[in-house]
Amino acid sequence: MTADEDTGPAVEYSLDGMLAIIRLNDPRRRNALSKAIVSGVLAALDRAREDKARAIVITGTGRVFSAGANIDDLQAGWLDGTDEETDPTRLFRALVDSPRVVIAAVQGPAVGGGFELTLCCDLVVAVDSAFFQLPELGLGVIPNTGVARLVQIIGLRRALDVILTRRRVGAAEALGLGLVSEVATADQLMARAMALGQAVAGTAPPGALSVAKQAVQHHARIDWSHVLASLQAVPRAEWQEGLDAFREHRAPDFDRFWT
């Protein structure tokens, strides 16, 4: 695991019977997908494999599931494609390719990369007060993994609506769209997510589950090389202005790019 001096481990791992529990644990930064969290979840996935966990539940500490990518890390390599080792896309692909069923237990808002993380899990249980949002375009960035996964899950027109308008999608609407498998109250969230994992992995053999996942991904194939390349295709000046504005707590000036 990767340590954070302020809050302890950035990612917590535990084993509960047949289930591996992976918890994003940086509530002070709203569990933003920092390099520490990305590498920590990847390490936890390896540990779950070593522990022969039958299913994996990913959740977060605090009121926010994940507020998206860490801005410092975006500017320090991810947007340039110079830090592949901790690029969130590597984590997203590991979740999609995992032979084990992965369930997101979303205890609060899932924004940007946090939303993309849920899109790469197999099943999602969300608390009734949660919402999902992709605000990237307003920062001059694109949700590159979200673009690929949303089209598969909810279709082209609905994906464009969520991506272009950047609006919040509440838990009830997310359930209707198929972004969420089940909605639960806060006190029942983890119990429902774990029950779902046990129902799936406790009544089917590992080989059949793995092949079923692989077959689904084959028929809904993602070009991961394009996912990575599309992020670098965004003009640097645009995302630099968007992220600078975010840091400086001001509205970005995108008008100059239209001229």
Distance, in Å, from the CA atom of 37 to the CA atom of 72, rounded to the nearest integer, reads: 13
Partners of residue 131 on adjacent β-strands = 170
Q: In what order do the strands lie in the sheet with 131-133?
A: 110-111, 131-133, 169-170
Q: What are phi and psi of 162, to 5 degrees?
A: -65, -40
Q: What are phi and psi of 54, to 5 degrees?
A: -85, -25
Cβ-count burial 153-182 (b if 16+ within 10 Å, e if not)? bbeeebbebbbeebeebbbeebbebebbbb
Partners of residue 55 on adjacent β-strands = 19, 101
208: phi > 0 → left, psi -120 to 50 → alpha, else beta; which? alpha
**Residues with catalytic annotation?**
136
Angle at 212 between CA 111 and CA 217, to 5 degrees: 50
3-class DSSP assignment, residue 156: helix
Of 41, 39, 42, 47, which Cα lies nearest the Cα of 24? 41
